[in-house]
Chains A and B, each alone.
Chain A
Amino acid sequence: GGRDFNPDTGKERKAVPTVCYSCVTRDPKIAFVEDGRVVKIEGQPNSIRSLGKICAKGQAGVNQVYFPDRILYPLKRAGKRGDGKYKRISWDEALTDLAARMKKLRDDGHPEKLMYHYGRAKGSSSSLPKTVFMGTYGSKTISGHTSICEGGKWVAQELTWGNHYDNWDFDNTDYVLNFGSGVLEAHTNHIPTAQRLVKAMVERNVPCITFDVRLSYTAAKSTKWEPVRPGTDLAVLLAMNNVIMQENLYDREAFTFIRTTEDVNAPLDEKIAALKKHLISYTPEWAEKISGVSAANIKKYAREFAKAKAACIISYRGLVAHYNGTDGERAAQMLGMITGNINSPGGRCKAVAPHWKYPKGPKVKPKGKQLKITNGTLSALPNHGECQSVLKMIKDGSHGRPDIYLWYCYNPVYVNGECQENIDVLSDEKLMPFTVTSNIVYDESSRLADLILPDTSYLERWDWDGNVAPTQQTEFELRQPVVTPLGECRNFSDILCDLAKRMEMPLGFDTMEEFVKLSCEMTPTVKDLPGGGFEYLKKHGVYHDPNEKPDFYSHKKIVKDADLKKEGILFDEATGVYWNWKKSKAKDEAEAMAKGYAKMAYSYKGYVGQKIGDKVYKGFKPDKVNKTGYFELYSTILKEKGFEPFPSWKAIPEHQELTKNQLTLTTYKVPVQIHSRSTHCKWLTEMFHDNPAWINSKTAASLGIKDGDLVKLTSKIGEISIKAYVNEMIVPGSIAISYHLGRTESGRYGSGKKSIMGSDNDPDLKLKWWDTYGVHPNWLIANAPDPISGQHRWMDEVVTVSKA
């Protein structure tokens, strides 16, 4: 790889290293340019993450630039909101208007009435808008999208081992248990992990057992598919943990770092006994009745997992996007930890990712103000917000409403549940006085924007970036423009720099390019690279230190005595935690001492180490909650919030009494579409433009449904009609519909509709041969959170099914 040629002329194509942004994996890649057009994309051979490979969505990045319905000019609403009438305006007109609106809010003392809502913006495209621009402006009314993604998984990790994100060391593992991850088709670190899992399975005969409602590609490729009833993975995991504890297959030494009791100083035997006692009623036979997975297999897998030299437990939304999802992930963490397969070669490891330093804007910033509308009201620990509740909170109004709603890399109407309510709220000018977005595609939400700013595609812009390497090492990545932006497209972050100047609040740099360059000069690992970090990365795309050792067993490191004696450090008897009170919200040492580590707001930010016996370990450093440095299987934080301190069985309430024609709805992703940002890509939508609902043949027969029949699905909030795909690849009693499709906008390839100002300059438009655009399941799915984490409950909805 690394070179490419025109097949007709033989002329070599220009290779430009950059980084993918089709999905959140962000693989380093090489874009090939011919006559000023990007024509082909390949993986970056120098990347320790992707090893030179890239997926279908990454390959189709070419389409992200040249799809004929792309927004190329600033557009201002010219009719009623939602009418789809827009007029082209100049950048100056657009930004003069927007800056005046923002400035007025700020100068009136209400910066919090500017709300910024973003999707999976990462790297510098996250930091510049969220931290630098909004921080300098003074609004903390900011929401991400993580709760509709995997927020429950992160909260569970924050409660157990601290920071979020788990890396799976397939290169060194001998056994894999998979609860609801499509790791081979749609994972957040897809290409880096998928290729390593296949290699392990084929070249080293590593077994991979996949528990899933559906025979996904991942399940199909696994050594064994274990169909599991929706929302019952937790029961299987509890039973496996129970088998391991009762049969004494656990790793005794691992318990040194585990908390299973109220008393942080409990001896090993007491800790082991406490966990055994908690789990004893969760027998494999009990779990079989709930989940449909045989007790014999539960025992078999538990024993094999515990006895393997290295074993890796993996999980994603199949486990997590449920009412009981946070406990599901905590139970998965438990399985890894009690068998000694956490932070270990071949196990589930805390992620290692690059740490970029960047200019933070002016030294003196206003104290930020915030509308309390980003966390909902129904969950106990929404550490990653509750974005699906934002529009509901705005509708409710009791916590205030933004005057300007600005969204980026996000399609609130389409990606949250309850599409109709989202449309109603965003359409209502009384609730939403001014709406603005920056986007490349005219989508369901852009349609409700008063101002649309044409963004650059990721192949036309700058970013520093980086994601987790499966080798437990750090890799730095640089995204650079491969081609000149089309039309009048300008990168969203460049626009924010411009707006800041217009509001007399300069950020200290004028463009994203400058921001990225400054970041390269500030970041230790890259700043001294030959020619400087910026020039080096422009040329090579990626950097990793070849001498960096893979980071395993970080929790076992001893904290140096000197680090315990620094100013501000206190020892907290109740938790055994050494912490620096100055990093918390404490006014003074007296307040810190009085409240103690567990009760002082933000004390976790000052965490230094955990005293265990007579040693102080780095332990499992907390993030977002004041947990101890233990791997907490017993959580006093949850206990105080009224939940079971141990991971415990909770059935999905709605699943308990179903009538004959009621099925549980499961959603999933396919390998060739990005969740909501790719139907305008012709090469992807050509392969996937229809998404009939999967139904098991027995279930279908009992409902009188045949393959291809149109069926009506009704939930408590909505109704859709969809074709049935009757097959042998799904658990009876459930119905599965993929995301991605049912687009009402996104241009001709994705929705059949020409977007405003769409052009006809793609010769393939005449060759488009499909006229189906699929059906979106979110019209049926209520915006309901997991009561612990706020994670959206994608997989819990009950639908009544009948022939349409």
Chain B
Amino acid sequence: MERSQKSHRSRQSGPSARKKSDTDKKKRDITEEKKQNPKAFAFNSTVKAKRLQSRASEKEQRRLHIPTVDRTTGEPAPYVILVHGPPQVGKSLLIKSLIKHYTKHNISEVKGPITIVSGKQRRLQFVECPNDINGMIDAAKFADLALLLIDGSYGFEMETFEFLNIMQVHGFPKVMGVLTHLDEFKDVKKLKKTKQRLKHRFWTEIYDGAKLFYLSGLIHGKYVKREIHNLARFISVMKFHPLSWRTSHPYVLVDRFEDVTPPDKIFTNKKCDRNVTVYGYLRGCNMKKGTKVHIAGVGDYNVAGLTGLADPCPLPSVAKKKGLRDKEKLFYAPMSGVGDLLYDKYAVYVNINDHLVQYSKVGDDDTSRKGTEKDVGVDLVKSLHNTKYTVDEKLNKSSINLFSQKSYNLKETTDSDDEDHVKPDNFIEPMEELDNVGSDDESDDSEESGSPKSKDNKRTRGENKVEEEREFHEGRIRRKAVFGSESGDQEASEEEEETENDNSNSESSSSDEEEEDEEEEEHDIEENLGNASKWKESLLERTKSRKTTNLMQLVDEKKKSSKGLGGDEVNGDGSSKFTNYASTKDWKEGEIIESIRDRFVTGDWSKAAQRAKAAETENENDDADVFGEFEDLETGEKHEGDKTGDSNKDIDSAVEERRLKKLALRAKFDAQFNGSESPDEDDDKNHKGKDKGQANEVSFIEKLKEEAELQRQRNIAELDDLDEITRLDIEGYRTGTYLRLEIHNVPYEMVEHFDPFHPILVGGIGLTEDNVGYMQTRFKRHRWHKKVLKNKDPIIVSIGWRRYQTLPVYAIEDVNGRHRMLKYTPEHMHCLAVFWGPLAPPNTGVVAVQNLSNNQSSFRITATAVVLEFNHAAKIVKKIKLVGEPCKIYKKTALIKKMFTSDLEVARFEGASIRTVSGIRGQVKKAGKIELGNKPKKKGGQPEEGIARCTFEDKILMSDIVFLRAWTQVDVPCFYNPLTTALQPRGETWRGVRTVGELRRNLNLPIPDNKDSHYKPIERPLKKFNPIVVPKSLQASLPFRSKPKLAKSKKDGRAVVPEPHERDVHKLVQHLQLIRHNKAKQQKLKKQEQKKKHDVQKAKEEVVTKKRQREERRDRYRTQDKLQKKMRRE
């Protein structure tokens, strides 16, 4: 029986229908939604449109960043997820929950960084931020993502804001807020409100739409699994942007710390300087040997030993599968003591928990209890299973390649015993002395030649330097050469190197006759390699590879040549000019000319092209020979059979080329994709429009991006060409390598007060950054800091990796470029701060704090700044007023005393302008001569020094005060005090230089009170001048006009008596005026009264009108409404 199936009825309403219609619209590219009032958004003002456009373009520009060349290669180091928050907010619990989520392990305590593998491509390192401000500052410098935990039930605390400010200064890493303690809200509405409030506050601090997570509460003492899962997902998709300081400086977040001082030294002196090793992933940029490092809270040190170790927490091997296997969910936390394996330079430590150790003892001793014994055994095996797996994993990792290679070797070459020179390519050779690369090559070479003697040599040479690790593998013992050298025997090995290289040296000593040299060498090699036929390579090519090392050696052997051949021999005068008169040929001859014809455009272009090509293929072949060992690994190509090799090589190169191109394309696409992905997603559409509008700018950025990408691909291609040792040599340890740094002579306190809860940051120092000098910074007091800052009051600054206390001098730049000292920082304004300290490059952020103690409630960030430049001299000036008084006055010249203390000083100020209080301007001329009034008070006494002869524009008085206004240099104190917080118990507050205020408070000193500085009401007694008396004789000679006259006063004392008629008239006039005034007054009063009345009347009427109008309106609206309702109903 067949029943027709009911046809599908799609939803006509509800969410699914809406969704469908939405997608449908999107497909048809209809985005216009029904708007409430489309007219309101219509185009109606060109000015506004222009303004909008310019704003949009400005926003667009702000979005753009100058692309930087990404120089990281290989696997990135684990990303540091820093969990920060005030105490008791649930930081450790969050880390524990996340680790449980990732690895299914419970950890009891979060001590130090914990590294885990979170995905196939990603590792994470969880760090808990210490609660003190020093720890926070350091943590902000290494965090890739900061999870800011906020107690939802309490609200934001100062720590969060302080940390945000610190991060903003030291490059802003990614930030995500996490609200905890939300289960303390019983009222849902209140909870919602609080969330909303906190979210918006968080947004104002970071940016609108910053992610804030909510952890609703605890279940069985853990966060809810689902929420942790979500959080983990957010972390896993997080993108990390390069921060400029970090990409230019290598740094290591220490996850393992060991004291390697010889025990007898400690025994004899407990407080001796220690040697320590620190371990951690290298981040930032590549680290070369000889880089100086700064250990935060300790100081600057030279790295005594730098070694790359095998990754303790490697990413899973690339295989096509989805997700991570449980076995690959590794984690590594040596400070917490949970990673069971520790890899040192030449040893592997397996940590076994105490209770397990005891079990095994029980098993060994109590043979009587058979049942239990067996159980214990099983337990043991099981417990060891985990750890063993990791070992296996390691071995597999390291030997898969080895094995495959070896099998090829076994099959295809009969050469069996050259394990020593086969280097696994994914293994970083634990080599201590890179200087010896040359010598190693040498020894390798000689080994290749198969002479047993050289092998012996190597063994004896490496007495204590080379250790062997024997592993039983594939049915035979494999020995891996592991270099365990201490830097102590570096000298010895160097000497050896010299003796070893003696031969080649004597050959190559005459560097100006290279040609002959090469030939000689060729012969030499031929002799040496007479029985090197095993390799079945043409001698020519052997020599080529040989020559490479020789050329490099020639450059390396510095001491030799400068002694033996005496650098002065050829170029004693250090001239760069090199004219090879010796080898000049007779260029008039036709043949010789023809020989270089192809180097000219008049020659054969195709031949030149061929020449270039030949060079390239030659190059390729060269590669194949020199680095054949590992090139072969990938292709599985034979050592013998040159031709097949070559053809393979060609194909290989083509393939390689294509691969590179693809990579570049892909990277470019990725970059574009990332670029168009704006932080606010809804903007996406607009951007496309803008892109067209601003094609120029965008294309410029695109060009830059492309260039950066091209450079990156070029770097990768060039570096991949090299073998591991050379690569290490020229580019240093790559980022992502697990490094072991040995540092000598650190204070014993560092070991004594080492606290795993405070992660150690080791940062590399750039070329000039260990010098000290004056730094000029653009400085602004933080708006939340309560007081203004006083000049030369100590502040603690954090610049680059360092933290130190210093005494800044504040200044401001005047319009004429003068830097004028300020006594206090200005309000709401930037100023300059100049201080002395280790230099940091311009554009580095600075954060300043004044108080380090934990138990203060106010905001601790004092100021933020940015370094403008550094200099060896600080030019800051302040005003100075020199005050003097005349001691002798001539016509317009006066001798001024008390202004200067010596004639020398006067000489310094010759020509300076001066002024009297009354405003007469003048100039300093010269030091006063003795005969000019500067007579010694008593005869025979010394003439007074420092009297200056000055001229004025007018004659001055003896009572005048003369002053000179000048600028004087302010010295910036040459003082800085590194914060050694790691050398004291972490709980203690570090104490440095105290401010003057603090000193006064602590020592109970009063504020010095200078009476002259008091403000008093100014009393100016009226100056009484004597009447001018003109001498009679002068009067007589004056013209009449200027003669003093007997002026008669206008008012003479006589009374005026009017006539009776006059009196009447005056009276009448007065009466009439009075009447008029009265009348006017009355009229005015009347008018006022009338106006009042009128106003009252008007107000009354208005009230009535308003009432009426309201009634009318109400009626109208009611009817309208009714009408509308009616219409709607219809």
A and B: bona fide binding partners:
no
**A interface residue numbers (CB < 8 A to B):** none
**B interface residue numbers (CB < 8 A to A):** none
